[in-house]
Each structure stands twice: as C-alpha cells, then as structure tokens.
Structure 1
Amino acid sequence: MQNQIKSNLTWWRAPGITSLAALSLLIALPAKSAHSVKPTQQKIPSLPDFVQSSLDFRALRSGDWLVLDKKSLRLLTANGAERAAYKVRAKHFDIRESVDQGLVVLIDSDTQHAVQIRVQDGRLSLAMELPAPSGALESSCLYRDTQQLMHLFVIAKDGHAQQWLLDNAKPQLVRNMALPANVKFCEVDDLTETLYVNEEHFGLWAYAAQSESSAARSAVILRQPYGPLKAGAHAIQGIRGGIAVLDQVGKNISVLESIQKKSAQAAWKITGRLKQQQYANWPKQAGLLRSTESEHAITFFLRDDAKKSWFALNTKRLIKNPSSTQNIDTIPVLIPQTQTEEMSRLGDAADDPAIWRHPIDSRLSRVLGTNKKQGLLVYDLQGKQTQLLEVGRLNNVDVRQNIQWQDSSSDVAISTQRDDNSLVIFDIDANGMVNEASRIATGMEKIYGTCLYQPNSGGLEAFVNDKEGLVQHWRITKQNGRYTGTQLRHFKIATQPEGCVVDDKNARLFIGEEKRGVWLADADAKTNKPLQLIAKVDQHLHADVEGLALYHGKQASYLVVSSQGDNSYIIYNAQAPFAYRGKFRIGFNTARGIDGSSETDGLEVSSANFGIPYEDGILIVQDGHKRLPDGAQNFKYLDWKQIARALKLE
C-alpha cells in the first residue's frame, strides 16, 4: 500500500532542517537550561565569492548553488559558472530537493504572486501557477507531509494564509488559516509537521502543518515581558531538532530544541544563544538567517544588509551525535475511497456512523450518520445523501438487523437524543428507508453514547451512557408495532465515556472512557463481573478515546478504536489478552479530491462484502476537519484490505 501512496521520489529538506536521526535523539534527551554558546575554534566554512553578495542562497546536493540576486534566481556551478537563470525579483526563497530535481518557491515582489520554479537537469523553469492571491503576499514555504505529498503555505501581510496541495496537475486549496499580521518568514519542519511563523515585533509561533489538525498555535519564544526577546523574532531558520531565531534588537540568535511530549504536542527549550559580544563585526543591519550543519558544528550566516554580504558564526553542535539513530514508529497513511456529502450545518456537527446492509444486493447498503445539530442522515455507498430526518440533536447511532420479535422481525437503528435525553428507535425497511418509530425516556440529564446488543437468545438490548459516567442497560421489546424499554441494570465509570460496542456472539461489552482507555464488561445482565481496563491511554492510544467498532473476519476479530489525540486509528485483537496490532492514519486521495480525517468522534466497521472496492469490508469514520477545501464535516469510507495489508492482519 505504501508504494501506492508515496511518490517515486525521495525528498530532502533544504540544508539545516530537522532529520529523522536528530529528532529520534532529541526525544530521548532531557530539556537543557539556556546557555551562551561559545564560538568554536574550527575553521568557519566560507561562502564562495559569488554567494557573498546574494540576497539568499542554498547549496544543492549536486554541488551546484542556487543564488538569489536583485534581478533573478540563478543556478551556478561550484565554480560560479551560470547554468541557468530565472528573471524575478524576490527577497528569499524555500526549496525541497529530490533525487533528480528541486522545487523552489518565492514571492514575486512585482506581482505579489507565489512562484514555483523547478530545478532539473541544469535548468530553471516555471513549475506551476497558483490562482491570483486576494491580498499582498509576504511569505511562503514548502512542506512535504508523511504521505509524501508536497504542500505550499502562502501568507499575506494581513495574516490571511492558505495551504495548497501541489501534487497534482492543478494546485488544490487545502485550507484557509488566520495567522498574525506582518509575518515575514515561515519554515516547516517536515518530520514533526510543524509550521513556524515569525510575528516580527512579538515572537515566534508554531502551528500544526498537518492540515487535518486544528489551527491552534503554540508560543515558541516571545518578546519581553513574555519571553527573552528584546523586540521580537526578526528572522528564523530551521535546524536539525529545532529552530533558530534572530533577535535584531537584542543582537543575538536563540537556538531552540523541540521537545516532544506524550500528548504528541511539542514544547521548545532554549539550548543556546549566540550573542553579539562573542563575535567581531556583528552586522548592524542583520536581515536573513541561514545555516549549514555538520556532525559537530552549525554555521549560521547572517545577511549584513548594510554591507550587502554574509557574516558567518560557527558554533559547536548543540545536539551530540546527531547521526545516531533510534527506532521511531512509522504510522502508515491509508487512502479513503469515498466521502459523504457535507453536513448541512457548520461547526462540530457530524458525530457517529452506523452501517445497514441490504439483504439482497450489498451495493445498495446504507450508512447512517448523526448530526448533533439537526438529526439523522442516510447515505449510499457512493457518499450521496439519500435521507435527512430532522429529529433533533442526535449523538451516537447503532444498527442491528433481522431482529426476531414475538410477532415479527425487523431491522432497527437506535440513537441518543440530547434534547430530551431519550433513546430514539428507527425502523429500516428492506430498501434502506429509515423512519422514526418510538422514543424511550432514560431519565438521564446528559445522555451521550449508545450501542446495541443482540443476544444469542434473541431480542434486542441497548447500552446508553451519559457524561457523568453512568451506564444504563436496557431491554427493548416490540409488540403490536410499538417499542418499549425496560431498564435491566446500571453501573458507573469514573469519568466521561461515549463510544461503546458489543460483541454479540461472546456477550462482551467494550466501553471507551475518553481520558483513560477501553473497558471490558460482560454484556449479560445476569452476571456481575468487575470491569477490566484492556487498553490504556499510553504511547499507542491518545486521549480522547472516541469511536469503537468490531471487525469479525474469517480468521480473527479486531477492535477498532479512534485515538483522537493523535488523529489515528488503533487495531487490537478482540480476544484476550487484546493485543495491540498497530495504528494508521487516513490521508489524501488526491485523484478524487478527498482530504484525510482527523479528530474522529465515531466510527463503524463491517466485514461484509459490499462489492468493489469493499470486498473484505468497510470502515466509516467521522472527519472532524473537512479540507480540500474547507467545508462542513462529513464521513470518510476506507476499504478494509488497506488496513489488513498495512498492519499485516489475518
């Protein structure tokens, strides 16, 4: 599967950006206290004369140089001979290199357009044009995601920013972002998927570059009195394991390391500071900041705007043995085949899906999805909405088919209704048409999650929980076309649950406690076994624990859990000892214009054959952030074959 989702090219960051080896070591290191870094006695690498007067530069893997001057971007040999030139006025540029080409992005000072230039076979050529921006652009930077897709961030002077996907014949808008005004520089650390932007007169901020994440920002380093900077972050430069910030007023460069936390969010620690008094001839008007790195040293280059040349500062490497390697789990990124039409309500609306299988032609099956602001939606396997039942604020939904009642049989869906704290029961006919049939009052004050249980002895039961941790067990009966409910028992979980699923055959109830993990209980009301915590929130499972579903395969059964805290999906064996089998994420399907999924609330899975491409089953997940472009929430469909192949499941 990985060969299908990755480009045939292997891409590298421009010199000075985080490497896998450096990050793996960094995570294992304790945070260091701030200290001034003394210049090394080693010979400072010098820039060729033809680079000294440039506005910006990069040394390429081929040995050539990219040099930006006032009139053009030039490709030069190691001896300074010009191989190619592209006429443009710009202040700086960003680059990614592959085995046989490079991609450069810059802002044309005349047109205020983002320009992408391809470097290949000794030539410079226009790679792709973006639509005209709505405002004056100030900065741009490239980002290669874990799916090996190329993205571009463009930032306007007023702070309006956009993320574009470039790995297609035509650029596609991924999302809009609101960033600080007057951002002069941006950098992306591809490995940690962190977008850094400088608010010039205040400080440096970090955002998740991964488009499925929220737009929340983290402070990296700020000006006084909120941080150590004298005035703000004048210029920035990515280095292995962190970021360097030039404080023009304070006359120093602060070097920060990114410390990854268990929550999968990073913090930054100042691990070094290069000060003006340590160096003779420190530039009075320092502009751009660049760097080159070796195993033992980092050389920073400051653009001296007054002398129109570069000033070199050599330091010992702050991270020891950056070339050492440690194992970092690689999470496969899988591709959705389909997405549903968007919710008709914006914001946090979609929540939980369920699957109804057509009794004759599985290709005519239906997906039920809740809308917390409107009601129940029904979709076909192509994602087209077939029904909308405006029955109020529904949260979770579950389905059971061919239920044998005293005088009939039927297919039923049940959902929690947050307006009246009831269980809403829906009948589903042979064509997949859904209709509300009844409501059962639960007496709860904050009803939340639910799941159905079809005992081997027949009939139908339901588990329902609330935000205070109360779990109720109900027996559902139907007579003369009317549904009624009888509460069989109740029990308590310490903190908020929501997702739950029942293994009907083995009478096992799995309940997700959002902050702690997955509990196992006996679904049979006659037993009184204590709950067992079978999957803890740890290095695999990140809070919140949300949707739960069971896949019953020919050889094995699996528990699927939405690990909302790191936007992944975890697979456990569904039998004791409930071993962890792996995790995956859902990424872009660029060919069909489908974005990935994140912050998933509810999910559902089935091992039934639904036809191509779902012969081995289907996974449906709620997507918390609709991108490509921004829109209302929806659900994504993924074939089980991808999951089984990626995680080597039976």
Structure 2
Amino acid sequence: MTRLPFPAAPVLALLLLAGVACAAPVAPVATVQPSLETAPGLPDTPDEADADDPAVWLHPTDPARSLIITAVKDAGLRVYDLQGRLVQRVEAARAGADGLPGRYNNVDVAYGLALPGGGVMDVAVASDRGRDRIMVWRIDPNSAATPLADVTDPEQPRVFPTRRAPDGSGEIANPAADQRSAYGLTTWKGPDGHRVIVAQRKEARLVEHRLVVNPDGTVGHVRLRHWDFPYSHRGQSLTAEDDHDPARDWQPQFEGLVVDQERGILFAGQEDVGLWRVNLTTGTADAAPFHETRGSTRSPFDNRASRVARDVEGLALYYGPEGTGYLVASSQGDAHGDEKAPDPEGLDDTFAVFERGGDNRYLGSFRIVAGGGVDGVQECDGAEIVSYALPGFPNGLMVVQDGYNDDLNGLSGEPEATNFKYVDWKAIAGSFDPALMVTPQAWTPRPTP
C-alpha cells in the first residue's frame, strides 16, 4: 500500500482505502523573498539561452570564490559568482556531421575526481540532450575569469543508444535525432569512483554510468546499470498525449534527480507521477513513489491528498547533522501558458519540503514571491541547496531557476526572459512553524583529506 504523504487520522485512512476523495488539513503555503538574482537576464546572446538547472561549486580554500554553474540549454552553460554576476559563458557544442547541436539540460558538480598521474580535479558534469552525451568540464580554482575548461572525451558512447519498444517487447534503436536522449542528471561518489545518473527524455528509464578519466585527462563514461519504471500509474497511461488539454496530457519521463551522498539514496522525480527512491547500494528501487503528484481531476489518477502539482521538477537536499535535513521539490504545476490547468488549491509554483530521512514525511510548502526589487519564481525547473556558510549567505543558500524573469509577457507560455534566484536558507526555515533547522557547516560535499 502506498504510504500517506503526511500523518492522518484512522478515519481518513479508511476513507482513502475506500476510494473516497478527501484531504488532510495542511498548513497554508508559506512565502519567502529572494535575496538577489543573476544578471544579465537570459537570453544574453543571440543563442536561445533558457535557464534550467543550477549547481553550486564550493571553492577549496576561499568560500567567497565559490561558483554557481548553470545549464541554459541551447546556449550552453553560464557561471555566476555569489553576487549573481556573470563569470563565464560556455557555448554549447555546435552541430557536427549529424546536424545535431548541443543542448545542455541539467548540470551537477563532482569533487575530487582522481587523475591517472595522481592528484584530483573537481568537475562540472552536464547532460547534452541535443547529442545524447555527458559533457564534463574541469574546474580551475585558480582561474577567476574562465574557471571551466572542457575535458569531455570526444569518443564517448551515446548515453541512450536504445529505448523501450512501444509494446514493451524489448529494446529498439534510438536515433539521437529523436531526442529521447540524456535529460535529468545528478552525480554521486560510488564505491568505485564517481558516477552519473541520467534520465531518458520521454521514457521511464534511469541509467547509471561511471566516469572514466583517460590518460590524456579527458573524461568519458561506461554504463553500469539502469532502472525501468511503469508506463502507467493508477489506471492512467503515461504515454497519452493531448496538445490542447494539459489535464489529459501525460509523460513517463523523470528529470529532477538528487543523491543523498551519505546514505546512497537517489531521489528521482517522475514529472507526472511523483517522487521515487532508489537504494544505490543494493540497486533496488521502491515499488511505488513515496509521494505522488496530485495527478489530474480529469484522470483515474486523481490524488487530492498530495501537496505536489505535476510537473514535479527540481530536487535539492539540505544536509543537517547525523542524517537529518530536508528534501525540497519544485511543484511546478501548469498555471501558465496558452493552455492552462491551474491547481485548484494553488500549489502551482511552490516548493514542497520533506524530511530527508525515514519515510520522508511531508512538512509543508513555500512559495518565492517578489521582494526587495527582485521578482518571484514561476515554473521552476531546477534547484540546488548548500547547507554551508557562504559570504552573504551565512545560514546556507538555495538557488532556483525562474521560468519567467520579471514576470514578462503575462506569464503566457512564451517567457521573454529567464534567470536564477538566490534565497537565504534561514528565510525559508523561518517561514515554517515550527521553523526548519539551520545548521551551516554541518556537512560539506567536498571530501576531507
């Protein structure tokens, strides 16, 4: 039986088992203001720069020189400092003989990748949705202007050379031009080195690769294992499409991914279905999501008890001491665009907070609203949190993508600009009652010597 996402009285549990639609009382959505935003806004070149996913890199000796590394799709990567100022533009790979240009969808950071001749390097790793590749950049802590240098193995294999046959009978060829390619991405330190977990666009599949450093210093990858998930949920086909009715339009794909590095647990957001766990030590995925999305009122999958409006998008972890902390998930919803399906309880454009450990109990939700001359956040695709004291953010930092920078164009589905917002973790923690923990420097992702 699927767990309830928050404590409920026995009567409520019986009603749910009987199929009666009802919901447990929950606290109202809290509001938080951002501290600052990245500039210039995107696009910032003739390329179609569209903000998507951020990662935070902590400098090894000087926290003030830490960086926010972001994926901006067709325009490659953008690197910012802790004041939101642009440090470096990294262009996406140009189209090769196959006519496919790079499109960088998600990005993460891996610390201490071992070099063949000794020593280590930090790297930024991104999914190249356009060419179905894993891109890697070495991060130079001594370079203020161009810290990222491409070290991707040009001879690397495709991430998804095959895909599931439509009838489920087996594997079929997967041309890169079909764009059922590398999508969501996260890294983790496995027992045999650094690994990358990648979601396949338009498919219910996650794959794990190990990063391999070649003698020349370039970085490739080898495939280790994959996980397949159902293509239907609670009677709803996840391959049903309706371009004119969002309530009847479904996808099986995952995007938001994050690994609890201390426990080896992958949290994976299947956009229309909910939040899953995979134990990376045993290789076993849970049989059902631990928190479903709300589904749709026009579907057999209609879960009003949920506090996440589909799509569920960016996932981020706040690490506290001794396994404590929080998982934060972007409840993007579908309140904007030409064809709208706003959530009746207003859970679009919110962030749901769960306990990091145990059964990942739901604790509440917050929304990032305008304040201090910075606009709010809508349709957040990606997020990252560091529970580490940084200059300007002594209580920790959350970075989120904003799909409508400056709320332009009436939130019509054709945003003229996107960017990233920086939010003080203490502001988020204090918006809850009781307040969430604030434990800066309780944990650092950088390995200790």
Same fold per superposition (TM over 0.5): yes
Corresponding letter in the other structure for 1:477: V
Following superposition of structure 1 onto structure 2, how do residues 200-599 of structure 1 map, counting pairs within 5 Å?
Answer: 329-341=27-39, 342-344=41-43, 349-391=50-92, 392-406=102-116, 407-431=118-142, 433-439=147-153, 440=156, 441-444=158-161, 445=176, 446-447=180-181, 448-455=183-190, 457=191, 459-466=193-200, 467-480=202-215, 481-493=217-229, 494=231, 495-524=252-281, 527-538=283-294, 539-554=306-321, 556-565=324-333, 566-590=348-372, 593-599=373-379
Q: TM-score, normalised by structure 1?
A: 0.47
Distance 1:547 1:339, change over 3 A: same
Mapped contact 1:347–1:632 kept (Cα < 8 A): no
Structure 2 residue runs of 5 or longer lacking an equivalent are: 1-20, 93-101, 162-175, 232-251, 295-305, 334-347, 410-415, 438-449
Cα distance in 1 between the residues matched to 2:26 and 2:277:
30
Alpha carbons 1:519, 1:532 under 8 Å: kept: yes
Give how far 1:528 is off: 3.9
Structure 1 residue 577, shift from structure 2 partner:
1.0
Deviation at 1:449, TM superposition (A): 0.8
Please give the alpha-carbon distance, in whole angstroms, between the structure 2 residues aligned to 1:634 and 1:484: 30
Q: Is contact 2:254–2:271 with CA below 8 Å preserved after alignment?
A: yes
Q: Deviation of residue 550 (structure 1)?
A: 1.0
Instruction: Give the drift of 1:376.
Output: 0.5
Q: Is the 8 A contact 1:358 1:431 kept in 2?
A: no
Q: CA deviation at 1:405?
A: 4.3
Task: Give 1:522 deviation, angstroms.
Answer: 1.5
SS in 2 for 1:578: coil
Structure whose residues are more often strand by fraction? 1
Q: Which runs of structure 2 are paired with 1:599-638 in the superposition (5 Å)?
A: 599-612=379-392, 614-627=393-406, 631-638=416-423
Q: Distance in 2 between matches of 1:353 and 1:620?
A: 7
Highest RCO, 1 vs 2 (Cα 8 Å, sep ≥ 6): 2
In the superposition, relative to structure 1, how do residues 348 and 497 fare at CA in structure 2: closer, same or farther (>3 Å)?
farther
Query: Is the CA contact (8 Å cut-off) linking 1:521 and 1:532 kept in structure 2?
Result: no
Q: Kindly state the Cα deviation for residue 413 of structure 1 after the two structures are TM-superposed.
A: 1.0
Secondary structure in 1 matching 2:429: helix
Aligned residue type for 1:557 = G
- Separation (CA, whole Å) in 2 of partners of 1:453 and 1:620: 20
Structure 1 alignment gaps of length 5 or more: 1-260, 263-325
Structure 2 distance, partners of 1:478, 1:408, is 12
TM-score by length of 2: 0.68
Answer with 1 or 2: which has the greater Rg.
1
- Map Cα deviations across residues 388-427 of structure 1 (whole Å, 9 max, x no partner): 1112311000112223345321101111112211010111
Tell me which residue corresponds to 2:165.
Answer: none
SS in 2 for 1:344: coil
Q: CA deviation at 1:491?
A: 1.6
Tell whether the 8 Å contact from 2:27 to 2:364 is kept in structure 1 after alignment.
no
In structure 1, give the amino acid aligned to 2:380. T
Give the deviation of 1:484 after TM superposition.
2.3
Deviation, 1:641, is: 0.5
Q: Does the 8 Å contact 2:184/2:198 carry over to 1?
A: yes
**Structure-2 change in CA distance of 1:357 and 1:458 (3 Å):** farther
* 1:521–1:531 Cα contact (<8 Å) kept: no
Secondary structure, aligned partner of 2:431: helix
Q: In the alignment, residue 643 of structure 1 is paired with which amino acid?
A: I
> Aligned partners of 2:359 and 2:88: how far apart in 1?
41
Query: What's the offset of the Cα at 1:551?
Result: 1.0
Look up the equivalent residue of 1:423 and give its one-letter code.
I
| Counterparts of 1:375 and 1:338, CA distance in 2 | 23
Aligned AA (2:264): A
Give the SS at the match of 1:643: helix
Shift of 1:649: 1.2
Residues 512 and 523 of structure 1: CA distance in aligned 2, closer, same or farther (over 3 Å): same
Preserved CA contact (<8 Å) 1:514 1:546? yes
Q: What is the CA–CA distance in structure 2 between the aligned matches of 1:629 and 1:568, rounded to whole Å?
A: 19
Q: Distance in 2 between matches of 1:409 and 1:348?
A: 32
Indicate if the aligned counterparts of 1:520 and 1:531 stay in contact, CA closer than 8 A. no
CA contact (8 A) 2:49 2:75 kept: no
Return the alpha-carbon distance in structure 2 between the equivalents of residues 628 and 548 of structure 1. Answer: 23
2:431 matched to 1:643? no
One-letter identity of the residue aligned with 2:401: Q
CA contact (8 A) 1:405 1:459 kept: no
> Structure 1 CA distance, aligned partners of 2:25 and 2:193?
50
Q: How many residues align?
A: 322
Q: Secondary structure of 1:627's partner?
A: helix
Is the Cα–Cα contact under 8 Å of residues 427 and 437 in structure 1 kept in the other structure?
A: yes
Of 530-539 and 549-558, more deviation after overlay is shown by: 530-539
What is the aligned partner in structure 1 of residue 441 from structure 2?
Answer: none
- TM-aligned CA deviation for residue 471 of structure 1: 1.2
The alpha carbon displacement at 1:492 in A equals 1.2
Distance 1:347 1:423, change over 3 A: closer
